[in-house]
């Protein structure tokens, strides 16, 4: 009988080691991870991995670091909301985890090159979008104007504050943030993220919009983007579906004939606008 090599199979779990952690908010933590033997993850912005904690289970997590990072390590930002994520938050540098992937279709960065970008993130959506933002900054000459809009529930929920301050200081980036609930010391915008879009000056024919966040915001954000005359094929969305296998086998992420884990999680609006319950 012919033997089948499973060394590079997506069914095989690779050993990962936590190099360091950083608490970002009360519920979110950033993990820097390396694969056994110094292997690179080799991901695209927008892709995700399946991360397992021994005795707790396996979960899908978007990669937050840029693929142009010269280090062999990568980063994920995890919110403690369930059994696996809470178990992961208890781990420390030196602890081992399991990694499968990367999976899915990421952002079409080659198509983005030479065009302007409008990136819209809601809450934890900034975590997967951070991978694209860092890649764009690493290759800044390949892209036109860059607009970053961020919406959060409150100032305490804003992730990557140190990096955001750098974005705000850059002359080649337009950055704006709004919160639903302000505190006395907050000096920024207050309101839904959709209130930021009309004020962005752009050339719709050469602008690609990227939207990442909770599904409830997609309908309203896309409506505003279409009102700015951005073509539907140039509006990219990333779905937060409950992936269980990453390979289109279990059906948990299925939307009619589409499997978010394989056909996505990144889609353009024209691909999904007729799908029921997609956003």
pLDDT digits (tens, 9 = 90+) for 110-128: 999 999 999 999 999 999 9
What pLDDT was estimated at residue 75? 97
Domain range spanning residue 250?
109-272
Helices (H), 107-241: 109-112, 126-138, 161-169, 215-227
Which pLDDT belongs to residue 61? 95
Position 279 in a domain: no
- Mean per-residue pLDDT, 202-218: 95
Give which of 255, 248, 121, 130 is closest to 178, Cα–Cα. 121
Residues of the chain with pLDDT > 70, as a percent, come to 90
Residues 55 and 179 placed together within one structural domain of the fold: no
Structure tokens at 154: 């409150």
| Domain CATH number, residue 154 | 3.40.50.80
Integer Cα distance of 51 and 29 in angstroms: 15
Strand duo 207-212 + 116-122: pairing: parallel
CB count in 10 Å sphere of residue 87? 18
pLDDT at 3 over 70: no
Q: Rounded mean pLDDT of 4-11?
A: 58
- pLDDT value at 33 more than 90: yes
CATH number at residue 57: 2.40.30.10
Same domain, 123 and 249: yes
Does 118 share its domain with 29? no
In a shared domain, residues 175 and 218: yes
Q: Are residues 23 and 161 in the same domain?
A: no
136, 137, 144, 207, 208 from 114: Cα distances, Å: 11, 14, 6, 10, 11
Mean pLDDT computed over every residue of the chain = 90
- Give CA 125 to chain center in angstroms: 6
pLDDT at 219 exceeding the cut of 70: yes
Q: What is the pLDDT of residue 72?
A: 87
Q: Are 18 and 33 in contact (CB under 8 A)?
A: yes
Are residues 118 and 74 located together in one domain of the fold? no
Which residues, 6+ apart, have CB-to-CB distance to 71 below 8 Å?
Answer: none
What's residue 264's pLDDT? 66
d(CA 211, CA 218): 7
pLDDT value, residue 131: 97
For the segment 220-241, what is each residue's pLDDT rounded down to a tens digit?
999 999 999 999 999 999 987 6
């Amino acid at each position: 009988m012919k033997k089948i090599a499973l060394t590079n199979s997506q069914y095989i779990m690779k050993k990962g080691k936590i190099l360091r952690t950083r608490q970002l908010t009360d519920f979110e933590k950033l993990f820097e991870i390396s694969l056994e033997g110094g292997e690179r993850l080799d991901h695209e912005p927008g892709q995700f991995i399946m991360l397992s904690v021994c005795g707790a289970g396996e979960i899908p997590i978007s990669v937050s670091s840029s693929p142009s990072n010269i280090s062999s390590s990568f980063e994920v930002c995890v919110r403690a909301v369930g059994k696996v994520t809470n178990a992961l938050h208890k781990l420390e540098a030196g602890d081992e985890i399991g990694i499968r992937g990367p999976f899915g279709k990421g952002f079409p960065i080659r198509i983005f090159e030479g065009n302007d970008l409008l990136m819209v993130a809601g809450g934890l959506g900034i975590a997967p979008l951070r991978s694209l933002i860092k890649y764009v900054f690493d290759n800044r000459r390949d892209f036109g104007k860059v607009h970053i809009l961020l919406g959060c529930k409150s100032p305490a929920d804003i992730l990557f504050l140190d990096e955001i301050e750098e974005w705000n200081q850059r002359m080649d980036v337009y950055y704006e943030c709004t919160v639903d609930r302000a505190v006395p010391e907050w000096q920024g915008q207050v309101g839904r993220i959709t209130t930021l879009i009309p004020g962005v000056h752009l050339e719709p024919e050469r602008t690609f919009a990227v939207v990442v966040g909770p599904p409830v915001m997609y309908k309203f954000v896309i409506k505003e983007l279409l009102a700015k005359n951005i073509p539907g094929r140039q509006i990219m969305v990333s779905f937060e579906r409950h992936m269980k296998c990453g390979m289109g086998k279990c059906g948990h992420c299925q939307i009619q004939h589409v499997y978010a884990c394989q056909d996505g999680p990144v889609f353009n609006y024209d691909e999904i606008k007729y799908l029921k319950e997609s956003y």
